[in-house]
Chain A
């Protein structure tokens, strides 16, 4: 700590911090406009000048590093005069439209004009720029209002790394510009809007926010973003009419949230779906089923069914919303013969709206009948990574307790099942070992199988920040993703071969003495066997298999193992021909911190568990785990995929990763849940459910907020399976591709309409708060599931203690989850209301665990696994010569049900596409922007070609979000990872060609 004096107050400051930071931290306010705590100081506005004792002229405090004995004065006659002059100069170049300005009340310039008593400038007014740019649907740029503080330029450069804008022009006519002042969309802009968020004036405004009310008219609700697993805090701004008009990052207490004020394009602008007319507002039942059940007694309002173009019933007023869910069980007249064949039912029959009571009773009777007739395992359920922990907890309890089956899973199976299995085997816990904010302080970041920039933008900001601070970045990816451009080392293995590169890196670390002897000896077991097995993977062999140059593998090994920063890593490279010899004692010296980040490029593989364990081996040999800014960090895909796993929506695990197969665990759980016994064998996984449905073993399915008809592999097979189900109930917010196959569809609420908790990818449990009202009669999934459970119990004649299924609030469900899952033992809504807590948090006074495995692994010692390289299940051959790999892109999310209903996101990326290498495109006669047909052994899709070199020759990339050209028509579901049962989305053999005849595009 450094001791200094500010305004006569003796203060302590962190070494390396600035005078401004120190002053602000101690409640001493210094005027500032260009300063932002998340950006490097720039010194542009000159407002934060202070007097320094012993210096003749004032100094800007944002650029002044604290030093012992500094004596600072923040207020003086001279400083006042200079600051007032600065504001006056700014006002001379700023139209004073405050009375009609949407930013009024939140404008930095207005604030200081007020404080310095400047109704207008003391200088002659001359407006330097008059440009008003309205070239995109996300935000407008009013250059007149710009004060050139440079925050937008800096956030784009230092945090986002997009570098879409820069200051252009000189002198008085300097302005913020895209390259050549072209429209935003022609630049590298990713429309994250962080520039908009940080703009102190109205120069950058969200378009939807304009003319929607003044700042003080808006209501702000602090909650958690409903898109990816980063867990950004969002502030939903609603107008007096209850409409969302803006979404912001955390402006309240940015330091406590993962994202601060930053967001990505989806989080900030992708909220239109919430109040979209397509939202489901009433329970729907197939007309023929409804008629047979006598449910269509109310005038059957024909509903628009996909492809039929019928008119949609008007939304009922909010006052007429569904009757309470308080457990009343209304008997529904004669249960018709169900279960066998369900003849005539299915997509051909349109939906009709029914009452909640009727719908719930129908679902409960169908499920109860199925259990009675075919046994509990004839029912299967998919929980949801988009629903809350509480909802997933109750859902899995419904499956296990009310229906009596372990057939519960969710789409984590398709993304990180191999992580959960692999890291649990190696470390004892299958989740991110470190927190997101630590990434910025890493010395080396290794990113593999993650297109972080597009799939987890806010985490990519952390990587950009780390690189800006001098960290080295190693990217291992078959695609030349955006991060590759910022990488110190870019390794581009063919899809499916990254694995051998990591094995070779481990071998190189051991051979060259870069391993952490002490760590390996004291903290791990199984090293010798692993070292033996890995010794055959020389860089040369790995190079032959993967196509990555051997010396690049060696360098990556050294840089990662020793945690070298970019400058030191560069030295590794010069002179390029110098052999990498063992530098004496390198492995025993002080190591930098290296962090591994990975996502589905690693996990969605037929040997995903092995690869995850290989990464765990890599971290352990280098001792890069259990310290800040290190670790093995899987980036989870959906907002609550971590939580859905934590809450036990897995066929082999109870809440808190307690094994179903373990008898003592089972007994404890049975006791806790007040049942005599629980089903003892692990249930079916997602893909197994589909196979079982097709075989007829599964006869009824409940799907809560999932869309396997786009997300699951081999879609034609999925469609066949779901269509063949005698009974399918789907609860969702839209009539998704899956809901369109259902017999009953229940309207649910979205994240912005409820409370409850999400657990982000860094294991942080965070509280949701309702910002808007749910549309029509839509109900919380928690209440739907609880009510179903009650009714199923009634149908099956089971009696339980009073209030057994009563969860009046999400908070109540959390209390029960905490009792069932020890890692959540200390978590309550109250405790996570502000900033959240990272599990394990076993008790009410536990502070949470941001870093796992410090000093001791969850399983005791870290376990090395001897892993042998295995090629992908499906390799290219003469008929299917190319490798298909699938993934995400920035502007869309998962199956597109949310983002494709956002006009703005859709404006930016309206069509399905396929990335194809120029060489392959030329051979196939496919041109950039032209049609392309991609065929695998499972099917064919037609898409638009994006020809370039983002994918290497021999590889095709198709994003997963577009139902009309669904990547998963092509992927295979026959070979699953033997442990995690995850399908291999990332490697399929395909061929491409130009479509021979025109076909009406699907959708």
Chain B
């Protein structure tokens, strides 16, 4: 059996110098010193150890990292001539197939990312060899109603953050009357610190296509759109290659769904607007209009793209579907909590020891995520908070660390599941300043349509900014949450409705920091430059 050396060449791998590692390995392979072949793959999730090199031999795996180009020769020496290079052992991340020997990977349950870092994302054959498109074949044997039923039973909920039951959504689109229907994938991942969609698309693009095809069959769509950030050039490219391959192989095209039913997928690049992650704004953007949200109802299932019934889900939601079809809805539902099945991928970043993409079962306590998967706080500092769901989310303080990662439980804390961004901050971060950062983001990304979001977020930002400059007034401490509440309740779309979340949660859990800024003109974390003492 041939030895295959896989190099993670997703954005994180490439940023860490993976291309040079890959080239060095290629050269080594050509030299014939050691018997192996080199293969590009996606990211296994352990971004903190990129560039990752996985040596696969007879079903066994040795995952090493970080392996910069200059470590290639020593690594090969050390790996193939066991022990000949002592450092190799330090570089070893995991050598078990289930990765249980590496805490970051050990607690994870990989469903949507199961092939990321395993297969070559540019190879349809790799995907097919890993049961790719088998779920589609299964689905096509079933009636649309039966497919919808399976998805309902799986308890899959929208992974974009709102957590609407996916099967129910599909059912609405299936039942909606209309000769033309669409499936749309929201891959406009805009939260700062989030990269779930990017990793999935870059590592396993066909899984997304397959999920969309199954959805198309289930609702009766003839065309699909993937709305993907233009800031993800590699993801865009891999999607283009994957759709081309699928078209050539007949998975897309005039007879994609069998019995002469056509289906094709069009890749639509965004233009850098955060608000286009909102589904109605996203559809406007696809239609060539300015990406501005509109009121719902009508919901996309009744009147979506060009007024036609449309099902819109995010990348992770579609990517969950093939596994549900293959392994059964009960298995999927069993992974999560009674209300919510399956797994959720998180982009774990910030002050933790191990950053990266972690897919965990729904219901895992936040504490486990940070301290086991993430390995705790760097530099031995104290945990302060974790910001869930990016600028539209909220923070969870140490006192709430035992909260389970579930839609309802998280909402009870004031934070949200969100799409999966998880930014951990330690004692050196000022929560007021962090709030300012997120408000600056939401304010500048507001579409400007509705008054509370356009002007209300500006006024919130104005107030918080004054706090960080030591110009806050006691009165502001009372007025800020009032305004935040008004913006939350009265805004038109999700962006405005969630923009006050950072304000509301930090003021709830870290009011003392706000008071220090205002009453004492002091930044306890020492982060606000204007308030630093001599």
Contacts and interface: CB of A to CB of B under 8 A. Distances in A.
B295 A92 contact: no
B459 A568 contact: no
Interface string A174-189: 1100000000000000
A172 B449 contact: no
B444 interface: yes
Nearest to B290: A166
B353 interface: no
Given A60-B295, A89-B452, A567-B180, A170 B447 contact: yes
Interface string B291-312: 0101101000000000110000
Contact of B307 (A44, A60, A175, A470): A470
Contacts of B444: 170-171
Given A171-B454, A174-B454, A567 B179 contact: yes
B448 A82 contact: no
A148 interface: yes
B446 A571 contact: no
B455 interface: yes
Contacts of A568: 179
A347 B458 CA distance: 71
Interface in A308-331: none
B180 A65 contact: no
B462 interface: yes
Interface stretch (B66-74, B337-345, B485-493): B485-493
B307 A148 contact: no
A773 interface: no
Contacts of A150: 449
Given A170-B444, A171-B445, A174-B448, A58 B490 contact: yes
Contact of A90 (B308, B451, B489): B451
A124 B307 CA distance: 41
A147 B450 CA distance: 10
A85 B179 contact: no
A793 interface: no
B443 interface: yes
B483 A170 contact: no
B456 A89 contact: yes
Interface string A120-141: 0001101000000000000000
Interface in A52-110: 57-58, 60, 63, 65, 81-82, 85-86, 89-90, 92-93
Contacts of A166: 290
B449 A148 contact: yes
Contact of A41 (B295, B308, B450, B486): B295
Nearest to A45: B451
A148 B448 contact: yes
Interface centre among A45, A124, A170, A568, by most chain B C-beta atoms within 10 angstroms, is: A170
A307 B450 CA distance: 59
B294 to A, nearest CB: 7
A86 B451 contact: yes
Interface in A567-604: 567-568, 570-571, 574-575
B449 A44 contact: yes
Given A85-B483, A567-B180, A92 B455 contact: yes
Contacts of A60: 295, 492
Contacts of A42: 294-295, 449
Interface string B6-27: 0000000000000000000000
B411 to A, nearest CB: 13
B262 to A, nearest CB: 8
Contacts of A169: 448
B456 A82 contact: no
B307 A171 contact: no
A85 B492 CA distance: 15
A691 interface: no
Contacts of B451: 44-46, 86, 89-90, 147-148
A568 B307 CA distance: 12
Contact of A58 (B449, B462, B489): B489
B292 A92 contact: no
Contact of B450 (A43, A81, A82, A93): A43
Nearest to B486: A85
A82 B490 contact: yes
B462 A126 contact: yes
B452 A65 contact: no
B448 A65 contact: no
Interface string A30-58: 00000000000111111001000000011
A174 B292 CA distance: 12
A92 B449 contact: no
A336 interface: no
Contacts of A949: none
A152 to B, nearest CB: 14
A46 B445 contact: no
Interface string B155-178: 000000000000000000000001
Given A124-B459, A571-B179, A45 B450 contact: yes
A173 to B, nearest CB: 8
Contacts of A674: none
A317 to B, nearest CB: 54
A762 B450 CA distance: 40
B454 A46 contact: no
A21 to B, nearest CB: 14
Contacts of B295: 41-43, 60, 63
B419 interface: no
B273 interface: yes
Contacts of A123: 455, 459
B468 interface: no
Interface in B439-497: 443-452, 454-459, 462, 483, 486, 489-492
Nearest to A570: B180
B290 A167 contact: yes
Given A148-B448, A567-B308, A82 B483 contact: no
A124 B462 contact: yes
A481 to B, nearest CB: 22
Contacts of A571: 179-180
Nearest to A56: B489
A93 B456 CA distance: 11
Interface centre among A49, A85, A126, by most chain B C-beta atoms within 10 angstroms, is: A85
A46 B443 contact: no
Contacts of B443: 171-172
Contact of B491 (A46, A148, A175, A575): A46
Contacts of B179: 567-568, 570-571
A605 to B, nearest CB: 38
B490 A170 contact: no
Contacts of A173: 448
B462 A170 contact: no
A194 to B, nearest CB: 20
Contacts of B450: 43-46
B451 to A, nearest CB: 5
A46 B452 contact: yes
Interface centre among A46, A166, A575, by most chain B C-beta atoms within 10 angstroms, is: A46
A43 B446 CA distance: 15
Given A57-B489, A568-B179, A170 B455 contact: no
Contacts of B275: 170
Given A57-B489, A167-B292, 18 more contacts: A41-B295, A45-B450, A45-B451, A46-B491, A46-B492, A58-B489, A58-B490, A60-B295, A60-B492, A85-B456, A90-B455, A93-B455, A123-B455, A167-B448, A170-B275, A170-B447, A172-B455, A571-B179
20 contacts: A41-B295, A42-B295, A63-B297, A82-B489, A86-B452, A89-B455, A89-B459, A90-B451, A148-B449, A167-B448, A169-B448, A170-B273, A171-B443, A171-B444, A171-B446, A171-B447, A171-B448, A567-B179, A567-B307, A570-B180
Interface of A: 41-46, 49, 57-58, 60, 63, 65, 81-82, 85-86, 89-90, 92-93, 123-124, 126, 147-148, 150, 166-175, 470, 567-568, 570-571, 574-575
The 7 closest A-B pairs by CB, nearest first: A174-B448, A63-B295, A89-B455, A43-B295, A171-B446, A172-B458, A571-B179
